[in-house]
Structure formats: C-alpha cells, structure tokens
Amino acid sequence: MRLMQTMWVFSIIMACLMLGGLYKPWLMLWWRATQTRLDVIKLYGGGAAIGYFVYWLLKIYT
C-alpha cells in the first residue's frame, strides 16, 4: 500500500514539473546545453506516465 501511494505522489510531482517546464524549460533542464519543450515532455511526461502505469499495475495485482 505504501508503494502505491509513493508511485501516485511520484506521478503527480512529475506531471507538475512537466507543466512548470513547459512554461520555462531552462528551469527544469538546467543541466543540458539546449532546453526545448519537447525534451521536457519526453523526460518529465515519460516519468509521470511510467509512475502512473506502475501505480495501476500495483493496484490491479495487490
């Protein structure tokens, strides 16, 4: 149950970071030479989608 809550919070945080990165990409991708909104969507959107997918897998199988 604790892991499910953690994955839910992780996916929410990643989604919020993605929204912030769409506004100012250089703030979220400060370690890269070029910061584009597509990179923000790939990195943070992918993390949010994976977290949400793992959350549902845990919910179904536990």
Give residue-wise pLDDT tens across range 11-60.
999 999 999 999 999 988 999 888 999 999 999 999 999 999 999 999 99
Domain membership of residue 39 as a residue range = 2-61
User: pTM for the complete prediction?
Assistant: 0.84
Domains identified in the chain, total number: 1
Residue 28: exposed, middle, or buried by beta-carbon count in 10 A (0-12, 13-18, 19+)?
buried
- Which of 37, 36, 1 has the alpha carbon at shortest distance from 19? 37
